[in-house]
Amino acid sequence: MSVALSPSKSAGPPDERRRHGRPALSAGLLAAALVLAAMSMLSLAVGSGDVALHDVVAGVFSPDRSVHGQMVMQEIRLPRTLAGLLAGSALGVAGALMQGVARNPLADPGLLGVNAGASVTVVFAIGVLSLTEPSQYIWFGFLGACVAAVLVYGVGSLGREGATPVKLALAGAATTAVLGSLTSAMLLTDSRTFDQFRFWQVGALNGRDIDVLWQALPFIAVGGVLALLLGPSLNALALGDDIARGLGQRVVAVRLAAAASVVLLCGAATAIAGPIGFLGLAVPHAARLITGPDYKWVLPYSALLAPALLLFADVVGRLVARPGEVQVGVITAALGAVPFVLLVRRRNVVEL
C-alpha cells in the first residue's frame, strides 16, 4: 500500500506565504475556539429533558441541588459536556498525530488496536472480575488500550527498517483481529457480560462520573502537550525518513514519542467514552483543509474541532429520539461514514 498526498496549491515564496498566512490561521484558531465554546453551551442547554435557562446558568456556577433543573446540570449535563471536551480533544489530536507519523491519510486511533485492546480488557473486568460500575471497569479499558498500542508498536518495530508505516498498519490489523476474536469468545459465553458491555462498546458520554474525568485529565494533558511539541518533527517526517534524518531529526525517537502520546490520549479517551470511531480520522482532514499540511497548526485545530464535533453529535443524539436518546458513537459513525467514503474515492489523496 502506498500513500500519496496531493500537493498544496499555494502560490508565492514560502516566506511570503508564512507571513501572510499566520494571522489568518491564528484568526481561524480563535474562530474554532468560539465554535467549541458555542457547542459546549449548546450541550449544557439542550437535552432530552427541558431545563430552564436560568437553571442552566445557576446549575453550572451556583447549583442548588434541591432544584431539579440545577441538579440535572450538575449530575448529568456538566459531566457529559466535560467528557466530550476531554475525549474529543484527545481523539482529534491522536488522529492527527497518527496520520503524520504513519504518513497515511486513512490512519486513525484504531490503527494501533486501541479500541480492540480496551474492549477485551473491559469484557474481562465485567465477566471475570464482576465489575459493574463504569468508574471501575473503564480503567481496565485504559490499561488494555495502552498494552495493545505498545504491543503493536513493538511488533511493527521488528526488523532492520524499524517501525515503518506499512508494518505498523499490518501489526495493528493483526492485533485487532486477535483481540476482537477473544472479545467475541468471552461475550458469547456470558449473556450478562454482553448486556453490560454493549452500552460501553457503542461509545457514549452519558453516565460518566466527574471523578473519572479528573483522573483522566493528567494523561490527556501530558499526551496533548507532547503531541504539540512534535509538530515541527512531523513536518520533517512527512518528507520521508531519509530527508528527516538529513534535517537533523531522530526518526526513531520521534516515533517513540508519538506512540507514547497516542497511548496516553487514546487510552484516556477510550476510558472516558468508549471506542468512538471516525472522529480521529475525519477531523484532521478538516483541519488540513484550513491549515494545509503544517502540523504545527493541524494539531491545535484538531484539538478544538474534534470536541466541537463530538458535542454536536451528542446533542443530535439527545434530540432525534426524545424522550430517549441515541448514543454519540452511533451519531459520529453516521456523520463520519460519508466523508470517509469520499476520502477513499479521491485518487489524488490515497492510492491503494
Q: Which pLDDT does position 134 carry in this prediction?
A: 66
Residue 312 lies inside a defined structural domain of this protein? yes
185 is written with which cell numbers?
A: 469468545
Domain that holds residue 302: 83-345
40 is written with which cell numbers?
A: 459546549
User: What percent of the chain clears pLDDT 70, i.e. is strictly above it?
Assistant: 83
Residue 105 lies inside a defined structural domain of this protein? yes
Residue with more model confidence, 135 or 333: 333
Residue 136 lies inside a defined structural domain of this protein? yes
What is the number of domains present in the chain? 1
Q: Which pLDDT does position 200 carry in this prediction?
A: 66
Buried b (16+ CB within 10 A) or exposed e, 56-83: bebbbeebeeebebbbbbbebbbbbbbb
Q: Which pLDDT does position 310 carry in this prediction?
A: 93
- Each residue of 11-54: pLDDT tens digit? 444 444 444 477 888 888 999 999 999 999 998 888 767 777 77
Residue 27 lies inside a defined structural domain of this protein? no
Q: How far is CA 321 from CA 44, 49, 93, 282, 318, in A?
A: 18, 11, 31, 25, 7
pLDDT at 349 over 80: no
Q: Which pLDDT does position 114 carry in this prediction?
A: 78
DSSP symbol at 62 = S
**Residues 320 and 328: beta-carbon distance below 8 Å:** no
Look at the block and give the residue holding cell 481561524.
Answer: 28
- Each residue of 110-167: pLDDT tens digit? 767 877 888 888 888 877 887 777 667 767 877 888 888 888 878 877 877 766 667 7
Residue 301 lies inside a defined structural domain of this protein? yes
Residue 325 lies inside a defined structural domain of this protein? yes
- Each residue of 59-108: pLDDT tens digit? 777 777 777 777 888 888 888 999 999 999 999 999 999 888 877 777 77
Q: Which pLDDT does position 156 carry in this prediction?
A: 78
pLDDT at 348 over 60: no
**Residues 107 and 168: beta-carbon distance below 8 Å:** no
pLDDT at 55 over 50: yes
Residue 219 lies inside a defined structural domain of this protein? yes
CATH of residue 199: 1.10.3470.10
pLDDT classification of 299: cutoffs 50, 70, 90: very high
Q: Which pLDDT does position 225 carry in this prediction?
A: 94
Confidence (pTM): 0.83
- Each residue of 165-193: pLDDT tens digit? 677 778 888 888 898 888 888 877 777 77
Cα-to-chain-centroid distance, residue 181: 24
Residue 142 lies inside a defined structural domain of this protein? yes
Q: Which pLDDT does position 116 carry in this prediction?
A: 83
pLDDT at 350 over 70: no
